[in-house]
Amino acid sequence: MHPLSRALLALVWATLPLTPVAAAELHATWIDPEALALQRVLPPPPAAGSETEIADLAAVRAAVATRTPEDERRITADLPCTLDRFADVLGPAFTAARMPKLAALIEHVFQDGELAVLAAKSAIGRKRPYTIDPDLRTFGHRSGSTSYPSGHATFGYLAATVLGILAPEKREALFARADQYGRNRFEAGTHFPSDLEAGKIAAAIIAEALLSDGGFQQALADARAEIDQAGR
């Protein structure tokens, strides 16, 4: 595994308030984020000033204008990128306290995905909605990182993919949960709808890379054994 570049590590520090671990602890386990080069395979974001970007920003403004206190509570609750955020779909046993191996798997998946997304964000450099419209009524932290793709949307779909392998009967519900996970960022005013779509594509690319790695497959098997043991 190649070491992270200084520029990428600096970007991780800039986005620290949105990550569940300290920046110094972020590391790639199964994926080289720079070699994966998401920016080379993702569709480009809407061009600055284009009709598509104007429509993207209008959609964010509309979502922000109709955001409710209940939406804001959900946005806050879903900031952590952890296994526990999917317990409402999988059941109360699916928490870090009860399934540490599965929780560790999802944590490593998050970190691999987050670093790949940060590398792509740095290369693509799309402005956030609130950078284009400073008066936008955002909710929560205004990240110093760029916008495309959404890291939270990527994590939601990536976690849904991995957990759907382990609990295929819950796959549809997991992806519905991932949809909401990403939509939180749109309703908060921190991402465009197209950022969320890019996160969905990024998650599929990252998942494919993970599934081709022997170390990931072993960790997946260990998590499956833990789930089977808990079900006895």
- DSSP letters along 56-67, please? HHHHHHHHHHT-
Answer yes or no: is 4 within a domain: no
Answer yes or no: is 48 within a domain: no
Give the residue ranges of the chain where pLDDT is below 70: 1-24, 232
Pairs from 42-46 (Cβ < 8 Å, separation ≥ 24): 42/120, 42/124, 42/148, 42/149, 42/198, 42/201, 42/202, 42/205, 43/198, 43/201, 44/124, 45/124, 45/126, 45/147, 45/148, 45/192, 45/194, 45/195, 45/198, 46/192, 46/194
Answer yes or no: is 127 within a domain: yes
Answer yes or no: is 8 within a domain: no
CATH number of the domain that residue 153 is part of: 1.20.144.10
Answer yes or no: is 16 within a domain: no
Domain that holds residue 106: 69-230
Answer yes or no: is 192 within a domain: yes
CA distance 211 to 51: 38
Query: In terms of DSSP H, where are the helices of the chain?
Result: 6-14, 33-36, 51-65, 69-77, 87-90, 100-124, 129-132, 151-166, 171-187, 193-211, 214-230
Answer yes or no: is 102 within a domain: yes
CA distance 131 to 157: 26
At 22 the pLDDT is: 42
At 26 the pLDDT is: 78
C-alpha distances in angstroms, 117 versus 63, 100, 107, 163, 182? 24, 25, 15, 20, 14
Reported pTM: 0.87
At 140 the pLDDT is: 87
Answer yes or no: is 216 within a domain: yes
**How many structural domains does the chain have?**
1
> What tokens were used for 12?
């991780």
The Cβ of residue 175 has, within 10 Å, a number of other Cβ atoms equal to 17
At 143 the pLDDT is: 85
